[in-house]
């Protein structure tokens, strides 16, 4: 049976990581996969996570099955983090959150859930979007279409194009929106633009699916959830896929949440039963470790405050790097305007290089970024920024 298979290329993002690891050039720079790195280029375990891990080792009493919903404490804490404690979807008891294996796991069960609502449904994603969105939605049997989002020429948001496209979407369709820190462009909506999107979502009646993989990496935990919370106030039904990979640094623990909002408490219970039956036939139940750490951190004032500090440190370093690379490009004689990098948010920015220039950076300078010239800003450090700026100046 296997003889009919044809080898597939490595994943455009994860494949880069493998190449980077094999590269022996001491000057190599990893600007590929979206993981936070400190000034020394390391992705260390957060202190609050270390403490929660010790607590778990000392207090865990059983490894018995946890069930498809995962941990209720984690789910409740995640819902409060996403919506804020007093959001009406919580006070009206219209939201159900389950633990999921990371953002990807959450998106995949959401996709299967949409298919259960309507076989062959269409989901609209931004152009561009995270490289894995299209594949995972198609793998679940959804039709994927795109709406305009990034204006490549002006390095800006194509907001008029986006809004016009969303007005034409069918009420039976789903629309994927990046809640913050748009991946890959780093270009986010402002509060007025979110209001307009919320109004369109309400008037058209499509199903908003909010992907929030980077809460806290843009402007702050509440600021980054502004648009999501606004839409949740306006519409009757919505899905939120969230991830703890980045903001808790729990990449390999695979933990996130999938939240369904329904028109009523009764309706969302029915929807949740469908979601849980989907979980059961895919992976049965989520891993427990990451959820246990997050719930320990979020339910302790001391650990929560430590997490706020550590998250702010990551966010501030990334934002500082944005200005740093812009200044260094100027210092190295680059006349092209790269100031747009400082107007973007989160882990990524599009440099606007050609695929050939990106390849040249990789082949000749051991600088790794995704082919679209998406650069993971966290990989920039004082020790490599001159080399990076000089290399970019050369390929330009
Ligand atoms: C990224 O976009 O680099 C991250 O979300 C990691 C991934 O799984 O692609």
106-129 per-position pLDDT tens digit: 999 999 999 999 999 999 999 999
pLDDT tens sequence across 86-112:
999 999 999 999 999 999 999 999 999
Of 236, 268, 299, which residue constitutes the final position of a domain? 299
* pLDDT band, very low/low/confident/very high, at 73 (cuts 50, 70, 90): very high
Same domain, 123 and 187: yes
Q: Summarize the confidence of residues 2-26 as an average pLDDT.
A: 93
CATH of the domain at 261: 3.40.640.10
88 flagged as catalytic:
no
271 C-alpha vs ligand 1 centroid, how far in Å? Answer: 29
Note whether residue 54 is domain-resident. Answer: no
Say how many domains are in the chain.
2
Same domain, 190 and 321: no
Same domain, 97 and 232: yes
pLDDT tens sequence across 283-330:
999 999 999 999 999 999 999 999 999 999 999 999 999 999 999 999
Provide CB contacts within 8 A for 309, sequence distance 6+.
Answer: none
Same domain, 79 and 204: yes
CATH of the domain at 369: 3.90.1150.10
Same domain, 71 and 165: yes
* pLDDT band, very low/low/confident/very high, at 165 (cuts 50, 70, 90): very high
130 flagged as catalytic:
yes
Same domain, 81 and 137: yes
Same domain, 170 and 289: yes
120 C-alpha vs ligand 1 centroid, how far in Å? Answer: 26
Same domain, 385 and 244: no
Note whether residue 235 is domain-resident. Answer: yes
33 C-alpha vs ligand 1 centroid, how far in Å? Answer: 5
- Annotated catalytic residue within 30, 37, 124, 130: 130
- Contact between 207 and 239 under an 8 Å Cβ cutoff? The reply is yes
Q: Which domain holds residue 373?
A: 10-44+315-395
Distance CA 128, CA 66 (A): 37
pTM of the model: 0.96
307 flagged as catalytic:
no
- Contact between 240 and 259 under an 8 Å Cβ cutoff? The reply is yes
Of 299, 328, 354, which residue constitutes the final position of a domain? 299
Residue nearest to atom 4 of ligand 1 (CA): 34
């Amino acid at each position: 049976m296997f003889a009919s298979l044809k080898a597939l290329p490595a994943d455009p993002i994860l494949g880069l990581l493998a190449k980077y690891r094999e590269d022996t050039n001491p000057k190599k720079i990893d600007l590929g996969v979206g993981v936070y790195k400190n000034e020394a280029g390391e992705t260390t375990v957060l202190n609050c996570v270390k403490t929660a891990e010790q607590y778990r080792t000392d207090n865990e009493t059983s490894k018995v099955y946890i069930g498809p919903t995962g941990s209720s404490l984690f789910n409740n804490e995640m819902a409060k983090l996403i919506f804020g404690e007093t959001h009406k979807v919580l006070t009206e008891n219209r939201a159900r959150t389950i633990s999921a294996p990371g953002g990807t796991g959450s998106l995949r069960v959401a996709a299967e859930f949409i298919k259960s609502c309507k076989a062959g449904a269409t989901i609209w994603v931004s152009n561009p979007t995270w490289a894995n969105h299209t594949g995972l939605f198609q793998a679940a049997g959804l039709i994927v279409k795109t709406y305009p989002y990034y204006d490549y020429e002006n390095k800006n948001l194509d907001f008029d194009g986006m809004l016009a496209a969303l007005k034409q979407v069918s009420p039976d369709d789903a629309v994927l929106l990046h809640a913050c820190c748009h991946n890959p462009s780093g270009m986010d909506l402002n509060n007025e633009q979110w209001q307009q999107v919320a109004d369109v979502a309400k008037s058209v009646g499509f199903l908003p699916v909010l992907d929030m993989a980077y809460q806290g990496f843009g402007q702050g935990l509440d600021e980054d959830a502004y648009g999501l919370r606004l839409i949740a106030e306006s519409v009757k039904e919505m899905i939120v896929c969230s991830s703890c990979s980045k903001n808790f640094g729990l990449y390999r623990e695979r933990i996130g949440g999938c939240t369904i909002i329904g028109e009523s408490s009764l309706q969302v219970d029915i929807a949740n039963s469908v979601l849980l039956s989907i979980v059961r036939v895919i992976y049965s139940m989520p891993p427990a470790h990451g959820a246990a750490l997050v719930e320990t951190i979020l339910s302790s004032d001391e650990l929560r405050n430590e997490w706020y500090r550590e998250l702010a440190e990551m966010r501030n370093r990334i934002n500082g790097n944005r200005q740093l690379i812009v200044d260094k490009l100027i210092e190295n004689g680059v006349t092209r305007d790269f100031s747009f990098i400082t107007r973007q948010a989160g882990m990524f920015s599009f440099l606007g290089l050609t695929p050939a220039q990106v390849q040249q950076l990789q082949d000749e300078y051991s600088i790794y970024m995704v082919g679209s010239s998406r650069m993971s800003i966290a990989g920039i450090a004082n020790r490599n920024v001159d080399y990076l700026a000089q290399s970019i100046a050369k390929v330009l």
